[in-house]
Structure 1
């Protein structure tokens, strides 16, 4: 599998992380996203007219959406990451894959505005990001009350991988994770997985702090 990749792209990192967890070796083709804007050049626009990355090639197959790439990598190499066949769990996985798009638009948009000076209403993006984090926090608290540490099941799925990078990088866009203990516990659980790989900018600062405590009934 060839991945057209930018090392600082959270969407690309999702794919690298999923591949690492699934034991899949990727042929990485670096893209000069910034400052070169290679993703808007003729060669990559021929692969993806939307002008975005990641792009995955595997033989004759070409995929250009990170959620679809996660599904493909998991289905091919580690189907347990897709969740169980139960209707409820399958639906929860799909719900969080869709939710990850809101994280990209809000927290990701704030990060691009702050770090790369892209045009954007930083206040509105941060507000939307905070609302998304509150929703995620509440869902994770509910999961913990059910005895589950992850978004869709008692074990990690592609839903967790889809949401993790933009959440972990929220401080780059000026949005603190300090008010969200359940999110920080979830991040810690993901970082503890075998074969977890790091991304530049996602630090282990939380490991220097006491483990967050969530009171029973807190939502």
Structure 2
């Protein structure tokens, strides 16, 4: 069985959990208590020398990094739907994986870390500026389309979603970005969607 090592308040752990769920895959959740430093203990470092979550173990395959895990799960279990192999289509999806590790991390993810985990080493003003930039870009991008790329949900949406949806943890108001809010609700209504602390699962009608 697949094992997912993660921490329940980690947005990156959550995106791997969300992908497993929308694909309908059974897996074992293994909690790594970041607050207790479990990710820096020898047994975990033996699996991931970077000392980070999430970590996926699927048989003999051991994979670190949330974006890499999304790629693996999409190609191994999701087929063409979640990550196509055609050159342009794949490039459009991968572009958002880079955005997740860049602008989203430098913006909403950092602001959340500052407020929720008291990460005072973060430059809050700069992170708020980065947040405004990426949220404006997303809002404009989603003005005339339902999903980030290809007219359907892909791992681009799963990658970008968590820290945008968790913006409230960083005291960021999403009301000025109505297209982003609509997209968040659209993701929440994907079959198999699961939430986390700060992201509610929609109540079934």
3-state SS of paired residue (1:47): coil
Q: Aligned partners of 2:42 and 2:194: how far apart in 1?
A: 32
Give 5+ residue unaligned stretches, structure 1: 206-219
**Count of aligned pairs between the two proteins:** 199
Root-mean-square deviation (Å) = 1.6
* 2:123 aligned with 1:126: no
Aligned residue in 2 for 1:93? 93
Aligned residue in 1 for 2:78? 78
Q: Is the 8 A contact 1:130 1:175 kept in 2?
A: no
Q: For 1:115-194, list aligned pairs within 5 A.
A: 115-118=116-119, 119-141=121-143, 144=144, 148-194=145-191
Q: Aligned partners of 2:48 and 2:31: how far apart in 1?
A: 15
Shift in Å, 1:204 = 6.6
Shift in Å, 1:27 = 1.0
3-state SS of paired residue (1:113): helix
Instruction: State the TM-score, normalizing by the size of structure 1.
Output: 0.86
Instruction: State the TM-score, normalizing by the size of structure 2.
Output: 0.91
* 2:43 aligned with 1:46: no
Q: Aligned partners of 2:195 and 2:53: how far apart in 1?
A: 19
Q: Is the 8 A contact 1:80 1:157 kept in 2?
A: no
